[in-house]
Chains A and B, each alone.
Chain A
Amino acid sequence: MAQKILIVDDDPNIVTYLEDIFQDAGYATCKATDGADALAVVREEKPALITLDLEMPKEWGPRFYRELTQDEEHKSIPVIVISGLAGNKYAIPKAVASFTKPFDRDELLKVVKDVLG
């Protein structure tokens, strides 16, 4: 079965883009449009990897990440930050990688492949 990636971003156009490239690379995807929904999706879909936008309405990415790490069952899921904020690598220091939009597609896929093996 294909490994599943959860895409967390409030911009539907960017979600579609990430879905396209991940699916074309052979992964399954699921999505959440803000940090508040994301945790529920994690529990339901149990993704192998999460891509996380930082600046979203209602709940910011960092807060979602904090809640994720307090969840014993899911805290080991690797997170890749994909955000429009410069310097985002400091926001979530434990992220496996940080990308600033607009990102390099091949680099992103390479990191995903390395993480998921």
Chain B
Amino acid sequence: MCKGFFVNTMQTFVASEPIVIITLDAGHGQVLARILSEYGYRPFTCDYEQTMDVVAEVRPRLILLGLCGPDRARILLQHLLVLYPTTQIVTLVSEDDYGLGLELLEDGAADFLFKPVSEEALRIALGRARTKVDLYNEVETLRAKNRILEENQQLCRQLFDEVPCYISVQNREQRIVRANRQFKLDFGACLGERCYEIYKHRTHPCPNCPVEQTFADGLVHQTEEVVTTCDGEQKIVFTLTAPLRDEHGEITEVMELATDITQIRELQGRLTTLGLFIGSISHGVRGMLTALDGGLYRLEKGIAQNDMELVVNGAERVKLMVSRIRNSVLEMLYYSKERELNIQLVDARNFGEGVANFVEPKANNHGISFEKEFHGVMDRMEMDPEVISSGLVNILENAVDACIEDESKSNHTVSFIMEGSPDTITFRIRDNGMGIERSHQEKMFSLFFSSKGSKGTGLGLYIANEVVKQHGGHILVDSTPGLGTEFCIALPRHHVPQPVSEEQEKVCV
């Protein structure tokens, strides 16, 4: 019944397939050898004694084993199968010895044929045995390929997981279908969730999503994003996307690879700022140094000529320039180094008096009246007095300058008013100077914005605003060009630490 099947799959002529014929009947062996030669086999005939040598030499895939003494033959069969387990051994048994045939099959023989063997039966049996060997080899090849595949898969998995980037694979609904270890570590269990929910805690897709663009055009897209980890940490990531296609070339998924560039951006922001800063102050500093030379010139000349008036005047100029240079240097130092707030408990009124006393002489020198008022609960408050006082002095000096510059009025007043409530301390700094143009009002707290030309660094109000924000307070400005300006600085009485990210964002822009 199997005959038809095997005939179809078997070649009737085989090209030089070696076969070892083991028989004690040399004549029978020659007959078999001749028949097999006709079919294209390369037969080697031997007796039991020679078997092991010949098989070792020929290394056949097929052996034809003729049985004379059943016991000896069985031992030989077992011996051969131990040494050459893949070899197919077809046995020839006496015509009526069906039981022996079965026992040989049990021992591992490929088949048994009754003697005297017909040519047809021999051809079929050997054909089947060859098929078996081929199948066996195919299975072995497949096993080896499978092993390589598994190794590669493991390598891919390992690479995917260990790459120090966030990798996710997303489907068309922007759901994450795969993610690497780093991604899962920082953004939590995310499979099946939407990218924008996991990455950005958003409820809607982000505008200009690179994944959507890649789905649309199949190209690589890149963006820079700010993402939030499950611990709430913000990271700046550089993101690249690439399409993943199925066997028909259709894009079914998109891979997104994101690299954490937070540190680079922070450093870049800082360097840019420092570069801008040095550029912006160099002109002013050069002017101040020249004016300092001028003061020293007068001082030296006064000493040489014993002219006290010149000495005093020279010394005053030197003093003024030294204080301007000092302010610039301090601003630069403040800016080039991140400074922690040094919060202290201070008496609000004493603090206010101190700030006012710093600026009052300058106002009086220019014929500007200086008024100070204290209302409400003064008592004590928490702040970093050094940075707040320098911020307030900066705004007060601006007020005095605005009066000096204003030629439209004969009387000028700068007022410093402190109001205390249980929760808040408010400082009002009012002047009737030249006022601030509307276009300047919007930019006045920006880094390096200055309306003072070479005399300003563009840092004073920026830093004042930053330190007030660091304290959890705010600055409001109300100004009418030609009439005057009022700054209102509100600070909480009790310090609450503020997140610092806003400043960094600003610097990075």
Interface residues of A (CB under 8 A from B): 10-11, 13-14, 16-18, 20-21, 24, 55-57, 84-86, 100-103, 105
Closest B-chain residue to A18, C-beta based? B294
How would residues 473 to 495 of chain B score, 1 for a CB under 8 Å from any chain A CB and 0 otherwise? 00000000000000000000000
Contact digits for B255-288, partner A, Cβ 8 Å, 1 yes 0 no: 0000000000000000000000000001110110
State whether A13 touches B283 (Cβ < 8 A).
no
Please tell me if the beta carbons of B286 and A17 are within 8 angstroms of each other in the complex: no
B283 touches A84 (CB 8 A): yes
CA distance in complex: A10, B453 (Å): 10
Select one of B282, B291, B297, B298 contacting A11, CB under 8 A.
B291
B282 touches A13 (CB 8 A): no
Pick the 4 closest A-B CB pairs, nearest first: A17-B294, A13-B291, A84-B286, A101-B286
The residue of chain B having its C-beta at the shortest distance from the C-beta of A86 within the complex is B282
Contacts A24-B301, A85-B283 given: A17-B293 contact, CB under 8 Å?
yes
For the complex, what is the distance from the CA of A17 to the CA of B283, rounded to whole Å?
18
**CB<8 Å pairs between A and B, sample of 5:** A13-B320, A17-B291, A17-B294, A84-B283, A102-B293
Residues of chain B lying within 8 A (CB to CB) of residue A100: 286
Complex interface residues of chain B between 186 and 234 (CB less than 8 A to chain A): none
Contact across chains for B295 and A84 when beta carbons are under 8 A apart: no
Tally A-B pairs: CB < 8 A. 59
Say yes or no: B301 contacts A17, CB within 8 Å.
no
Q: Does B51 count as interface, using CB distance less than 8 angstroms?
A: no
Which of A16, A24, A55, A56 contacts B294, CB < 8 Å? A16
Interface check B390, CB cutoff 8 A: no
Q: Smallest distance from the beta carbon of B195 to chain A beta carbons, Å?
A: 50
Q: Tell me the bound Cα distance from A85 to B279 in angstroms.
A: 10
Assess the B293–A105 pair: CB atoms within 8 A. Answer: yes
CB distance from A57 to the nearest CB of B (A): 5
Point out which of B282, B293, B298 has the most chain A C-beta atoms below 10 A from its C-beta.
B293
Q: By the criterion CB–CB under 8 Å, are A10 and B297 in contact?
A: no
Chain B residues with CB under 8 A of A86: 282
CA distance A102 to B295 in the complex (A): 13
Q: Are A57 and B297 in contact (CB under 8 A)?
A: no
Report how far A64 CA is from B392 CA in the complex, Å.
Answer: 38
CB distance from A87 to the nearest CB of B (A): 12
Is A102 a contact of B454 with CB atoms below 8 Å?
Answer: no
Which one of A20, A21, A84, A103 contacts B454 once the chains associate, using CB atoms below 8 Å? A84
Measured CB to CB, the nearest residue on chain A to B283 is: A84
Chain A residues within an 8 Å CB radius of B291: 11, 13-14, 17
On chain B, the residues within 8 Å of A56 by CB distance are 453
Q: Which B residue's beta carbon lies closest to that of A34?
A: B453
- B317 lies within 8 A of chain A by Cβ: yes
The residue of chain A having its C-beta at the shortest distance from the C-beta of B314 within the complex is A20
A11 touches B301 (CB 8 A): no
Chain B residues with CB below 8 A from A18, complex form:
294
In the bound complex, residues from chain B placing their C-beta under 8 Å from that of A10 are: 453-454
In the complex the two chains form, is A84's CB within 8 Å of B287's CB?
yes
B293 touches A84 (CB 8 A): no
**Distance in Å: Cβ of B305 to nearest Cβ of chain A:** 10
Is B323 close to A, CB under 8 A?
no
B129 within 8 A of A: no
* In the bound complex, CA of A105 to CA of B282 (Å): 20
Q: State the Cβ distance, A37 to closest chain B Cβ, in Å.
A: 15
Q: Does the CB pair A101–B289 fall under 8 Å?
A: yes
Binary contact readout B48-86 vs A (1 if CB under 8 angstroms, 0 otherwise)? 000000000000000000000000000000000000000
Query: B303-323: contact bitstring with A at CB < 8 Å (1 yes, 0 no)?
Result: 000000000000001001100
> Contact: A13 with B286, CB < 8 Å?
no
Tell whether, in the assembled complex, residue B297 and residue A103 are in contact, meaning their CB atoms are under 8 Å apart: no
Question: What is the minimal beta-carbon distance from A26 to any residue of chain B, in angstroms?
Answer: 15
A16 to B454, CA, bound (A): 17
Q: Mark B448-489, 1 if CB is under 8 A from A, else 0.
A: 000001110000000000000000000000000000000000
Q: Decide yes or no: A55 and B290 within 8 Å by CB, A21-B297, A84-B283 being known contacts.
A: no
State which of B290, B297, B320 has its C-beta within 8 Å of the C-beta of A101: B290
CA distance A84 to B301 in the complex (A): 25
Complex contact A84–B284 (CB within 8 A): yes
A20:B297 contact, CB within 8 angstroms: yes
| A97 CB, nearest partner CB in chain B, Å | 16
Residues of A within 8 A of B320 (CB): 13
Nearest Cβ on chain B to A27's Cβ, whole angstroms: 15
Nearest CB of chain A from residue B366's CB, rounded to whole Å: 13
Contact of B287 among A14, A16, A21 (CB under 8 A): A14
Apart from A13-B320, A17-B294, A20-B297: 10 A-B pairs, beta carbons within 8 A: A10-B454, A11-B287, A11-B291, A16-B317, A57-B453, A84-B290, A84-B454, A101-B287, A101-B289, A102-B290
Quote the shortest CB–CB distance from A19 to chain B (angstroms).
9
**A20 contact set on B, CB distance < 8 A:** 294, 297-298, 301
Contact (A55, B453) CB under 8 Å given A101-B287, A102-B289: yes
* Cα A16 to Cα B283 with chains together (Å): 19
Q: Which residues of A contact B454 (CB under 8 A)?
A: 10-11, 55, 84
